[in-house]
Amino acid sequence: MSHLDGTLSLPASAYWHCFCGILKREYLRFINQRSRFLSALVRPLLWLIVFAAGFRAALGIAIIEPYETYITYEVYIAPGLCCMILLFNGMQSSLSMVYDREMGSMRVLLMSPLPRQFLLLSRLLSIAIISLLQVYAFLAIALLVGVEPPLAGYITVLPALVLVAVMLGALGLFISSRIRQLENFAGVMNFVIFPMFFLSSALYPLWKMQESSEWLYWLCRINPFSHAVELVRHALYLKLDTESLLVTAAATAVFSLLAVTGFNPQKNQKPTR
Amino acid sequence: MSIAVADISFSYGQRQALQSVSFELQPGCFNALLGPNGAGKSTLFGLLTRLNALQCGSASINGHDIRQHPARVMSQLGVVFQQSSLDLDLTVQQNLLYHAALHGIARKPALAQIELELMRMEMLDRLHDKVRNLNGGHRRRVEIARALLHQPGVLLLDEPSVGLDPASRRALNQHVRQLCEDRGLTVLWATHLIEEIDPQDPVLLLHNGQLKAHNSGQQICLQQQVDSLSEAFHRITGLNREAA
C-alpha cells in the first residue's frame, strides 16, 4: 500500500508473516543445534541435582509463599533455575545479535522494509519462545528429583516465562549494544549474569540474605531478576505475585525501549576493509 | 528505476572513506562500480542499504530519499553482500522463505515466487538441499534469487564474484546481465576485476573515497587516450593493473 508522498505502509498481515518467518527460523536453528540444547540443560541440571543435594542439609527452608508446606531445596531452586536458563539464553542470543551484525544474519534481517524496532522485538520474542522449550525440558527432568508443581502450574507459568525471557533478552541486547567492553561472553558472565543470579532469590529466600547483610538484601530486592524468579515461582504454583508482575513488566518495557533505541547498526561500525 | 547519490561523504573516525561522491545510475542497465580494495565501495553499499548512516549528502532510489522513506527504499532494493549471508544449516527453500517473510510475503505466494526465481537461476533442483552442500557459485545464485524474491527494481551486488573460479565468475556475470535485459533491472555491480566490465558498461571508478570517473568504459578510455580500461585505471589511480 503506497501513499502519494512516497511512504510505504505495509498491511498488518505483512507484520504477521514477518514475525512468523523470524520465529520459524529460530525454531529451525534450534532443532539444528541439538548439542547446544543439551549443553544448555546440563548447567541447571547440575545445580538441581549436585548443588542442591550438597546444600540441602545446610539450608533449611521454612514454609514460605507460595508453598503450602515444607519443601525440599530442589523444589525451592527449580523456578530460579528456569530463570537461569532464560538468563543465559537471553544474554547469549543478544550478544550474537549485536556482534553478528557485521556478519550475515543481522544484515539479512535489516534488509526488511518493516521498522527495525519491530524486527528486533520480533527476534527477541522468537528467541524467548524457543527458550521455553528448554525450560519445559528442564521441568520435565526435574520431576525425577521431586519437583512436582501442580499440573495446571505448567500452563500458568507460561506467560510469566515469556515475560521474563523478553525482559532478559532485551537487557542483553541493551547491554551488549551499549557497553563495548562486554563484547565477549566471559565479561557478561562475570559482570551481568553472576551478579544478577546470586543477588536474587533464585538460590536462597531473601530473608536469609537479610539475616546476613541488610545492604545485600536491598540489592537483591531491587534486582529485577529477583522479581522475575518470584513471578515464575508463584505462577508455577498457581499464584500471582502482583508486585513481581508489575516490576517485571515495567523492567521489560524499559529494557525493550532502551534496547531498540540503543541498537543502531549504523553506530560503532568498523570499516570492513 | 535508478539510484541518485548527491555529495556523500563518510568517515570512520579520522579516516575519510568517501569524499563528496555524486552520481546517478543509468536505469535498466548493468552499472559497474570499479575500485581497488579500500576504495570505499563497501562503505557506499553500506550507505545505500542503510547499514551505515549517512553523515552528509543524500541518496535516493527511484526518487525516494533513503532517510525519509526507508520502507519504500528497502522494498525496491535487492542486495547481494560480499560475504555470503545464507544460513548454511537451512535448506535453500528455508533460506528463501525466511527472506520472503521478512518482506511480509505470505508462504503460498512466496513458494511460487521462489520456484520462479530458482528456475531462472537454474537452481530449482537444489530447492531442498542444505546450503552447506552447495558450491560457491551455486550459493551466489541462491543469493541473487533471494535478492530478487520481492521483485525489486534495483539490484546491488558487492563483489559477488569473490572466491569463485573464473568459469563461475563469468557465468554469474552473464546471468546478471541477462536479468538487466529481461527485466529492465538496474544493477550496481561492485568489483575490483576489470575483466568483469564490458566496454559499453557505465563505470563508476572509485579511488581513495573519491569518484574519479563516471562514464562508459569506452568513453573513459577515450578521455584517457588509452586502448584499454585497465590502462585507463592505471593512469587514473596510479596503481598497477594487478592491483585493480
Q: What is the pLDDT of residues B4-62, one digit of tens each?
A: 999 999 998 888 899 999 999 988 899 999 988 888 998 999 999 988 888 889 999 98
* ipTM (interface predicted TM): 0.86
Asked whether the beta carbons of residue B102 and residue A6 sit closer than 8 angstroms, the reply is no
SS3 label, residue B133: helix
Q: What is the pLDDT of residues A145-173, one digit of tens each?
A: 888 999 999 999 999 999 999 999 898 88
**CB-count exposure of residue B27 (10 Å: 0-12, 13-18, 19+):** middle
Strands (E), B75-233: 77-80, 154-158, 186-191, 202-207, 210-216
Asked whether the beta carbons of residue B81 and residue A25 sit closer than 8 angstroms, the reply is no
Query: With bands split at pLDDT 50, 70 and 90, how would you rate the model's confidence at A273?
Result: very low
Residue carrying C-alpha cell 532494493: B77
Q: Measured between alpha carbons, how far is B142 from B137 in angstroms, rounded to an integer?
A: 9
Single-letter residue type at A55:
F
Pick among A9, A24, A111, A119 to test the B interface (most B CBs inside 10 A): A111
Residue A3 near chain B (CB below 8 Å): no
The distance of B147 to chain A (nearest Cα, Å) reads 10
Nearest one of B241, B239, B228, B232 to B214, comparing CA atoms = B232
Nearest CA in chain B to A110: B51
Neighbours of B108 (CB within 10 A): 8
DSSP state of B238: -
SS3 label, residue B212: strand
pLDDT for A269 equals 46
Query: Which residues in chain B touch residue A7, judged by CB atoms under 8 angstroms apart?
Result: 68-69, 71-72
Domains of chain B: 3-243 (3.40.50.300)
Residue B162 near chain A (CB below 8 Å): no
SS3 label, residue B4: strand
Q: What percent of chain B has pLDDT over 90?
A: 50
**Positions of chain B with pLDDT lower than 70, given as ranges:** 240-244
Q: Measured between alpha carbons, how far is A173 from A260 in angstroms, rounded to an integer?
A: 8
Lay out the sheet containing B3-12: strands in order across: B15-24, B3-12, B56-61, B64-65
Asked whether the beta carbons of residue B69 and residue A10 sit closer than 8 angstroms, the reply is no
> If you count residue pairs, one on A and one on B, with CB atoms under 8 Å apart, how many are there?
128
Our measurement of the distance from residue A82's CA atom to the centroid of its chain's CA atoms, rounded to an integer in Å, reads 9
Asked whether the beta carbons of residue B51 and residue A24 sit closer than 8 angstroms, the reply is no
Cell numbers standing for residue B82: 560480499
Neighbours of B5 (CB within 10 A): 23
Asked whether the beta carbons of residue A25 and residue B98 sit closer than 8 angstroms, the reply is yes
